[in-house]
Each structure stands twice: as C-alpha cells, then as structure tokens.
A = this chain, B = another copy of it.
Amino acid sequence: MTKGRLEAFSDAVIAIIITIMVLELRVPHEPTVDALRPLIPNFLSYLLSFAYLGIYWNNHHHLLQAIKHVNGRILWANMHLLFWLSLIPFGTAWMGENSFASWPVALYGMVLLLAATAYFILTRTLITAHGRDSVLAKAVGADFKGRISVVFYVAAIPLAFVAAWIACAIFVLVAVMWLVPDLRIERTLAG
C-alpha cells in the first residue's frame, strides 16, 4: 500500500516534469518555417531531457520493484531526488534558449550531477533498510553505470567552459549508455 503510493506520487511528479518542459517550447508568432528554425536548440534540449527523465522513471521503476517496505527516510530520499529532477525543465529551457552556451550547459550538468547523487543516496537508503543480503542489494550490485555517470558529469561541468559541445556530447553519451535497458534487477529477480 505505502509502496504503491510512493510509486504513484513519483510517477505523477515525473510525468508532470516531463510534460511541462514542452511549455518552454514557445510557439512562434509567424506561420513560416523560418520562425521554427530558432527553436531547434530548444527542441534538442527538450529531446535530451525527455530521454533523461524517461531513464530516471525507468530506473526508479526497476528499483522500487525490488523493495518490500517504505519508511520516513526512504520517503525523503525520494523527495530529494524529485527536487533535483524538478529543476531539469529550468536547466533545459536556459540551455535551449541560449543555444547551448557554456554557463547554461554547466548548470544543466550540475543538475544532472545532483540528481544522480540523489539517486545514489536513494539506492543506499533502500539497501540500508532491506539489508546487504537482500534481493535489492544483489540487484543493485556495484552499480557501475551509476558511478561512471557521476564521473562523466563531473568531467562535463568544467569542459562546458572549454567547449560546450564536448559537455553536450558527454550528456548524450551517458543517456545512450542508460537507454540500453537497465536489466540488472529484472535478471536477479528472474534468476
């Protein structure tokens, strides 16, 4: 019951975040294809964030599948994750409107880094509550992809001031790495 409501609330928040981002794709006044062209960076920025939020929803879904109970700490670790995810639309819009300039790209990387950190904290909180021998702990394992993502974000932030496109390429790379579906928990549960 409790777990169901945590999932429902998280789903609702992620669904809203993913959808209100589209409100930042400001509708141009003229009905010409030229009026659409300046929106290309906004569109690419939206596409990237849509993928990231999809990845978070997908991973969150797998993670909660393996848990048995929920306590106050878990609720707040989850809220903490949702807080940083809720700043993705802001980062997306700033980055899109300024055609991937250095500061907005660095801020976007910072938000991704903080969200990844919050996800890591949530994972540890869940493992602490379920025990190191639980299905969950085995399923999460060493969490190689989680650790490498953090390294990539940390690298991307200063690189945004060297060449913003390198930082963006790193964000795309990390997203692609996760889009290869996260089957770790599924396999452990099935095996």
Residues of chain A touching chain B, judged by Cβ–Cβ distance below 8 Å, are: 1-2, 5, 7-9, 11-20, 22-25, 27-33, 36, 47, 50, 54, 57-58, 61, 65, 71-73, 75-76, 79, 82-83, 86-87, 89-90, 93-94, 97-98, 101-104, 107, 179, 181-183, 186
- Which secondary structure dominates chain A's binding surface? helix
Residues of B within 8 A of A30 (CB): 98
Give complex CA distance A24, B93 in Å.
Answer: 13
- Report A23 CB to chain B, min CB distance, Å: 6
- Report A20 CB to chain B, min CB distance, Å: 6
- Report A25 CB to chain B, min CB distance, Å: 5
Give complex CA distance A104, B89 in Å.
Answer: 25
Give complex CA distance A50, B72 in Å.
Answer: 16
Residues of B within 8 A of A102 (CB): 31
Given A58-B75, A61-B5, A103-B33, A16-B25 contact (CB < 8 Å) = no
Q: Are A22 and B76 in contact (CB under 8 A)?
A: no
Residues of B within 8 A of A186 (CB): 71-72
- Report A57 CB to chain B, min CB distance, Å: 7
4 A-B pairs besides A12-B12, A31-B101 with CB distance below 8 A are A18-B86, A22-B86, A71-B181, A72-B186
Q: Which 9 A-B pairs have the closest CB atoms?
A: A72-B181, A31-B101, A12-B15, A31-B98, A16-B19, A27-B93, A54-B79, A13-B15, A9-B11
